[in-house]
């Protein structure tokens, strides 16, 4: 940049950066000097076309300039050759070829920006800015010289240093083994993929192609859940998701939930190793699937990011999770890990690097860290409560000033286990329920059909036998609706047929059950919500609520500004019903949202943006970890959270949406916590 006011003025959009540069300066060079984000892999040699820009001509009163037709140097043979071979959008120029001649306004289209933004579907979600750890660099390497017998590798490293300012790069054995051929095949020009972890360790050349490499490089983002393992294959240049796939976690055969898998490891010598083999097998099978869907070789995958709860994290890494099975729930490692894919037998490029997000605590895993990265409470002023509901609820509360986290033992009720008609979320499962407060008649939707059960099309499409059970979100809605219709009282007791006045109530083991669906005449099941179901959901929701409440105590706040429900369960839950039930603390209903698979998204962010890795590491270090098991207040909150109280006491923000009737059936049919507990024991 020069102060000479006779030099042409160059203004970039959208950045607004501007400066005066001598006539003849290439636009790419101007962009670099101004710090404008304009991509280039070939370093301005007219090969890669990543530096495309669009000059604008005419009057720009806003900028105070007039751009004449000759503001840039003439269209040149390099651009002509590129256009005829590969095509160039009308009006575009190559930034490395077009030179400044007069005042000019230059637009950098998104695809020419290195740090381009990856579009996310949710409007409120944080942007993903491309800043991958692995990048391509085209270099011209000096030919060997007998007078100066440096190795080929050393001359490549010199070229990276001189042409790209890449310091502290190491070659690695595999690079060296293939380098001499690549250099000679490419006539001393090669493209190198360089991985920079940016945490003080040297950068690493992952791969070298002869000449200019015009292809893509890929990474995979994994969310290794107890039930499902999900994988996204991403283009590390564009950020695009090229393929996604999921699999049931094959460890399910060792135990449905986490603790039964930990027990399996305790009881069976070699059990942990078996489970490690199983999960790595699933990971490799998913990599094969996404690579085949995107029609690429698994060798083109140079990076992977993994998140998972602590038990899955340990099993994936080959660590026996036995210590997570008892207090003090000691993690083998809590920090983020950087390792070679081959160290955990993951099939990608042989030199591929993996990054595993940090764990927050013994029960709050790397998956929760990924949710934090995706939802970013630490970047906001609003006090955000993030709840990832599973067998354990992982709960984070905070804003840019302070972050707290805990886990709460909700048990598997929210996943449909411990519920009489409970089932996993699968076609045929009731997931939405409405109960008419006057007639007490229900209607519902099942997974796989958009019609309500009282619509004629439902009978045709699903029929009485097509309804198979209730999934987690269905049981939440059913019980909340039962409460709102006056079928359940504040203590969680289901009223008798006489008290409530509906034939939908049937006797069940000395208590009452509410019939949601009677498919028996059509060969289907009788689906009821039993007193025990209500008790189990009460215990689960009380655990969840009291975890959140404990964090609010520690934060010294009475309300939160925003609630985010993460995870597959959170994606399907109705915020209204969750609040009626008292699962989550009070919050304006429009400030309660679902983040979908936020853990998977967090993994994707860490894959596409290496600065985000340092960010989440710092955030996790700064999070205050609260251990519910040793907090007396957790027990107090838990006991008082078992009830399903009148909304005016706890849900002021629900005023406009629902009105709960004042109901009480007396103590007769087994209300209150103790009744439920006794019954459970009696049955067990």
Given the rule CB under 8 A, which residues bind a second copy? 143-154, 168, 171, 173, 176-177, 179-181, 200-202, 317-320, 322-323, 327-335, 337, 339, 343-344, 359-362, 364, 625, 627, 629-630
SS3 648: helix
Q: How far apart are CB 180 and a second copy at their closest, in Å?
A: 5
Q: Which is nearer to a second copy, 129 or 405 (CB)?
A: 405
Q: How far apart are CB 601 and a second copy at their closest, in Å?
A: 24
**CB of 610 within 8 A of CB of 131?**
yes
Q: Which is nearer to a second copy, 100 or 331 (CB)?
A: 331
- Please spell the DSSP secondary structure of 598-634, one letter per residue: HHHHHHHHHHHBHHHHHHHHHHHHHSEE--GGG-HHH
**CB of 637 within 8 A of CB of 486?**
no
CB atoms inside a 10 Å sphere around CB 456 = 8
Candidates 297, 371, 310, 305; CA nearest to 339 is 305
**CB of 540 within 8 A of CB of 386?**
no
Q: Which is nearer to a second copy, 362 or 575 (CB)?
A: 362
Q: Which is nearer to a second copy, 47 or 141 (CB)?
A: 141
Q: How far apart are CB 157 and a second copy at their closest, in Å?
A: 9
Distance (Å, whole) CA 432 – CA 474: 5
- Assigned token pair, 654: 């629900």
Q: How far apart are CB 564 and a second copy at their closest, in Å?
A: 23
Q: How far apart are CB 52 and a second copy at their closest, in Å?
A: 37
Three-state SS across 523-540?
A: CCCEEEEEHHHHHHHHHH
Q: Which is nearer to a second copy, 530 or 610 (CB)?
A: 610
Q: Which is nearer to a second copy, 104 or 331 (CB)?
A: 331
Candidates 496, 503, 493, 573; CA nearest to 534 is 493
Q: Which is nearer to a second copy, 127 or 167 (CB)?
A: 167
Candidates 433, 436, 435; CA nearest to 447 is 433
Q: Which is nearer to a second copy, 148 or 662 (CB)?
A: 148
Q: Which is nearer to a second copy, 37 or 323 (CB)?
A: 323
- Assigned token pair, 374: 């995706």
**CB of 69 within 8 A of CB of 118?**
no
Q: How far apart are CB 346 and a second copy at their closest, in Å?
A: 12
Q: Which is nearer to a second copy, 182 or 563 (CB)?
A: 182
Distance (Å, whole) CA 353 – CA 334: 19
The residue behind tokens 């499902």 is 228
Q: How far apart are CB 187 and a second copy at their closest, in Å?
A: 14
First to last CA, the chain: 79
Sign, Cα dihedral of 311, 315, 316, 318: positive
Phi, psi of 183, deg, nearest 5: -65, -40
Q: How far apart are CB 572 and a second copy at their closest, in Å?
A: 30
Q: How far apart are CB 147 and a second copy at their closest, in Å?
A: 6
- Helix, strand, coil percent values for the chain (each to nearest 5): 35, 25, 40
- Please spell the DSSP secondary structure of 446-487, one letter per residue: ETT--S-TTSHHHHHHT-GGG--EE-HHHHHHHHHHHHHTTS
Q: How far apart are CB 317 and a second copy at their closest, in Å?
A: 6
Q: Which is nearer to a second copy, 318 or 588 (CB)?
A: 318
* Cis check: omega of the bond before 14, within 30 degrees of 0: yes
Candidates 107, 623, 159, 579; CA nearest to 361 is 623
Q: How far apart are CB 545 and a second copy at their closest, in Å?
A: 21
Q: How far apart are CB 204 and a second copy at their closest, in Å?
A: 11
Q: Which is nearer to a second copy, 518 or 627 (CB)?
A: 627
């Amino acid at each position: 940049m020069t102060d000479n006011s006779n030099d042409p003025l160059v203004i970039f959009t959208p950045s607004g950066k501007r400066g005066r540069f001598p006539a003849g300066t290439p636009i790419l060079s101007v962009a670099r000097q101004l710090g404008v984000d304009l991509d280039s892999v070939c370093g301005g040699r007219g090969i890669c076309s990543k530096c495309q820009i669009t000059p604008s001509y005419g009057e720009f009163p806003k900028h105070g300039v007039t751009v004449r037709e000759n503001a840039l140097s003439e269209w040149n043979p390099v651009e002509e050759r590129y256009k005829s071979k590969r095509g160039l959008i009308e009006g575009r120029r190559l930034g490395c070829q077009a030179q400044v001649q007069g005042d000019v306004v230059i637009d950098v289209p998104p695809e020419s920006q290195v740090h381009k933004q990856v579009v996310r579907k949710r409007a409120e979600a944080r942007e993903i800015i491309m800043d991958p750890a692995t990048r391509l660099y085209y270099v011209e390497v000096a030919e060997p010289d007998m007078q100066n017998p440096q190795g080929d590798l050393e001359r490549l490293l010199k070229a990276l240093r001189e042409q790209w300012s890449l310091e502290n790069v190491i070659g690695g054995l595999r690079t060296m083994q293939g380098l001499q051929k690549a250099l000679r095949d490419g006539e001393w020009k090669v493209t190198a993929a360089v991985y920079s972890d940016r945490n003080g360790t040297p950068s690493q050349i992952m791969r070298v192609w002869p000449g200019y490499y015009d292809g893509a490089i890929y990474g995979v983002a994994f969310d290794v859940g107890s039930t499902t393992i999900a994988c996204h294959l991403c283009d590390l240049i564009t950020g695009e998701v090229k393929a996604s796939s999921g699999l049931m976690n094959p460890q399910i055969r060792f135990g449905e939930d986490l603790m039964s898998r930990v027990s399996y490891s305790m009881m069976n010598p070699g059990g942990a190793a078996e489970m490690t083999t199983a999960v790595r097998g699933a990971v490799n099978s998913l990599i094969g699937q996404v690579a085949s869907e995107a029609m690429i070789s698994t060798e083109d995958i140079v990076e992977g990011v993994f998140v998972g709860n602590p038990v899955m994290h340990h099993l994936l890494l080959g660590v026996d999770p036995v210590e997570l099975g008892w207090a003090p729930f000691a993690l083998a490692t809590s920090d983020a890990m950087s390792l070679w894919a081959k160290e955990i037998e993951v099939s990608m490029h042989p030199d591929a690097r993996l990054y595993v997000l940090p764990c927050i605590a013994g029960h709050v895993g790397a998956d929760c860290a990924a949710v934090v990265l995706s939802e970013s409470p630490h970047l906001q002023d609003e006090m955000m409560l993030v709840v990832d509901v599973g067998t354990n609820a992982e709960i984070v509360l905070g804003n840019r000033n302070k972050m707290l986290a805990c886990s709460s033992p909700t048990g598997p009720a929210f996943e449909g286990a411990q519920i009489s008609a409970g089932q996993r979320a699968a076609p045929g499962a009731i997931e939405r329920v409405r109960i008419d407060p006057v007639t007490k008649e229900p209607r519902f939707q099942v997974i796989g059909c958009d019609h309500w059960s009282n619509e004629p099309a439902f009978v045709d499409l699903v029929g009485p036998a097509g309804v198979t059970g209730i999934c987690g979100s269905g049981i939440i809605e059913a019980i909340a609706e039962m409460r709102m219709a006056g079928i359940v009282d504040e203590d969680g007791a289901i009223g008798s047929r006489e008290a409530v006045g509906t034939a939908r109530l049937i006797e069940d083991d000395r208590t009452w059950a509410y019939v949601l669906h009677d498919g028996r005449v059509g060969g289907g099941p009788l689906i009821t919500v039993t007193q025990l179901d209500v008790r189990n959901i009460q215990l689960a929701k009380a655990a969840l609520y009291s975890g959140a409440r404990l964090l609010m105590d520690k934060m010294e706040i009475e309300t939160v500004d925003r609630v985010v429900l993460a995870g597959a369960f959170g994606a399907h839950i109705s915020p209204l019903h969750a609040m009626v039930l008292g699962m989550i603390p009070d919050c304006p209903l429009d400030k309660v949202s679902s983040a979908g698979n936020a853990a998977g998204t967090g993994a994707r962010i860490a894959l596409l943006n290496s600065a985000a890795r340092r960010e989440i590491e710092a955030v996790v270090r700064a999070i205050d970890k609260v251990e519910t098991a040793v907090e007396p207040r957790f027990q107090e909150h838990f006991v008082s959270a078992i009830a399903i109280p009148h909304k005016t006491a706890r849900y002021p923000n629900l005023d406009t949406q629902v009105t709960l009737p004042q109901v009480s059936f007396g103590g007769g049919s087994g209300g209150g916590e103790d009744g439920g507990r006794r019954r459970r024991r009696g049955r067990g």
